[in-house]
Structure 1
Amino acid sequence: MNSILKDIAAVKADHENVIGHLTWHSLSEMLITPNELKDKLIASGMGEGWMPNEIRLPDAFRRATSDKFKREVAPGVYENYMYREVASTHDFVQRNLVCETKDTKGRRLDYHSDAGSVVLDRKTGKVDTRYVTAIAQQLVSSAAQRFDIYRQHYGATTLRTLFSNILKSMSPTPVRPSGGIYFVPKQFESQLQSLVGFVTSLEKGEAEKIPLIDTKDMKNMITRKLSEHLQSTLEACEAGVINQLRKGDLKVILDEAKRIVEDYKHYEFIVTGDLREMEQKCQLIRQKVAAALKNMAD
Structure 2
Amino acid sequence: MSTMIHDATKLYAVKGGNTDNILGNLVWFSVSDMEILRDDLVKLAMNVGLPEKYVPAPIRPSDAFRRATSEIGGVLKTGEEITEVLMVREVLSAEDRVVRHLIKEVRDKKNVQLNYEKIGEIEFERQWGTMNVIALTDEAKPALNKAKVLYGKYRDYFISDHVRRLIKTALGDCQAVGVRPAGAVYFTPATYEPTIKALNSLVKMLPSSAVEMHYLPVVNADDQKQMLEEKLRGHVLSQVSQIGSMLGGNAQVLSVKKTLKSLASEFAATLRDQNVVSKTTANNAIQQLQGLKQQVTEYESLLDSNLGEVRSTIDILRKQVRIMLDRVSLDNGVA
Q: TM-score range by the shorter chain?
A: 0.7 to 0.9
* Pairing partner for 1:74 from 72, 75, 79: 79
Contact kept? 2:285, 2:321, Cα under 8 Å: no
Contact kept? 1:70, 1:78, Cα under 8 Å: yes
Contact kept? 1:237, 1:289, Cα under 8 Å: no
In structure 2, the partner of 1:45 is 49
- What per-residue deviation string (whole Å, max 9, x for no partner) do you get for residues 46-65 of structure 1? 03343332332212211211
- Cα deviation for residue 234 of structure 1 reads 2.2
Q: Report how many residues are paired.
A: 297
In structure 2, the partner of 1:85 is 90
Over 3 Å counting, the alpha-carbon distance change for 1:216 and 1:60 in structure 2 is: same
Partners in 1 of 2:110 and 2:294 — Cα distance? 61
* Pairing partner for 1:219 from 218, 225, 230: 225
Q: Which amino acid aligns with 2:235?
A: H
Q: Which amino acid aligns with 1:114?
A: K
What TM-score does the superposition give when structure 2 sets the normalisation length? 0.77
Any unmatched runs of 5+ in structure 1?
none
Which stretch has the larger CA shift, 105-114 or 170-179? 105-114
In structure 2, the partner of 1:229 is 235
SS in 2 for 1:21: strand
Any unmatched runs of 5+ in structure 2?
250-273, 331-335
What TM-score does the superposition give when structure 1 sets the normalisation length? 0.86
- What per-residue deviation string (whole Å, max 9, x for no partner) do you get for residues 80-110 of structure 1? 434332212232111222444556x559463
Over 3 Å counting, the alpha-carbon distance change for 1:190 and 1:221 in structure 2 is: same
Contact kept? 1:20, 1:189, Cα under 8 Å: yes
* Pairing partner for 1:96 from 101, 104, 107: 101
Q: Within 5 Å, which residues of 2 pair with 1:85-124?
A: 85-102=90-107, 106=110, 108=112, 110=114, 112=116, 114-124=118-128
Partners in 1 of 2:104 and 2:277 — Cα distance? 33
Over 3 Å counting, the alpha-carbon distance change for 1:150 and 1:288 in structure 2 is: same
Partners in 1 of 2:205 and 2:237 — Cα distance? 36
Contact kept? 1:61, 1:147, Cα under 8 Å: yes
Q: Does 1:137 align with 2:130?
A: no
Q: Which amino acid aligns with 2:221?
A: T
SS in 1 for 2:188: strand
Q: Does 1:195 align with 2:199?
A: yes
Q: Which amino acid aligns with 1:144?
A: K
SS in 2 for 1:8: coil
Runs of 4+ in 1 over 6 A off after TM superposition: none
In structure 2, the partner of 1:162 is 166
* Pairing partner for 1:207 from 192, 205, 213: 213
Tell me the percent identity: 26
Over 3 Å counting, the alpha-carbon distance change for 1:151 and 1:239 in structure 2 is: closer
Q: Which amino acid aligns with 2:242?
A: A
RMSD: 2.8
- Cα deviation for residue 208 of structure 1 reads 1.2
Contact kept? 2:277, 2:328, Cα under 8 Å: no
Over 3 Å counting, the alpha-carbon distance change for 1:94 and 1:277 in structure 2 is: same
SS in 2 for 1:123: coil
Q: Which has the higher contact order (CA 8 A, sep 6+)?
A: 1
* Pairing partner for 2:310 from 275, 278, 281: 278
Contact kept? 2:282, 2:321, Cα under 8 Å: no
Contact kept? 1:220, 1:272, Cα under 8 Å: no
Contact kept? 1:100, 1:112, Cα under 8 Å: yes
